[in-house]
Amino acid sequence: MPISDRTIKELINKGDLLVTPLNFDNIGPASVDLSLGNGFLVVDHHQMTNLSLDKPIHYRRIEGSRVIIPPHHFLLATTDEKVRLPNYISGRIEGRSSIGRRGLFIQNAGWINPGFEGKLTLELYNANELPIEVNSGRRVCQLILDFTDRPVENPYDGKYKGQSETMGSEAHKDRELKIE
């Protein structure tokens, strides 16, 4: 069950939940709107012939606060806000409806584990027939939070913890690929 605006504010004021920088006007009835940060990543198609889940991806970094996403193209971005979840709250990212209605789909691999801390990498896809311009500072997604049934035994301590900029896929570092 999503956490309400009242509880979100209480958790922030108590210091258990961190969303920074935070404009309290961005707290909705059961979510917190997050904004696009600076810097973007796109797959460097000139360096690769195909993508594999088992090998690193070569990305091209686009610095700055503005990018134009061509039709039917994908890129990675980051939130402007840093988030820290306590060991009893999980989260997920949903694109804002107003942005999705423009044909810009925004995801975050779906899930944020209790204990995560850092900026969130966002997956942006232009489903439109026209290019879409996006700018840093624009509210593009919502952080939705849920309580776990009790504090988790092992808070998130994975490969994306502490990220401070847009990060590409680290699937090639998954534990099932490690040879013992």
Find the length of the chain.
180
pLDDT value for 42: 94
Domain edges within the chain: 5-48+56-168
Residue 18 to residue 20: CA distance in whole angstroms: 6
Residue 144, classed as helix, strand or coil, is: strand
pLDDT value for 179: 57
- φ and ψ at 98, to 5 degrees? -60, -30
Distance, CA of 168 to chain centre = 11
Query: Does residue 114 have a cis bond before it (omega within 30 degrees)?
Result: no
Q: What is the pLDDT of residues 3-59, one digit of tens each?
A: 999 999 999 999 999 999 999 999 999 999 999 999 999 999 888 889 888 988 999
β-sheet bridge partners, residue 27: 32
Q: State the CATH architecture for 5-48+56-168.
A: Distorted Sandwich (2.70)
pLDDT value for 109: 66
**Which residue of the set 10, 94, 123, 170 is catalytic?**
123
Q: CA 62, 64, 70: angle at the middle one, nearest 5? A: 55
| Residue 123 falls in the annotated catalytic set | yes
What is the model's pTM?
A: 0.91
Q: What is the pLDDT of residues 113-137, one digit of tens each?
A: 999 999 999 999 999 999 999 999 9
Q: Are 119 and 165 in contact (CB under 8 A)?
A: yes
Residue 142, classed as helix, strand or coil, is: strand
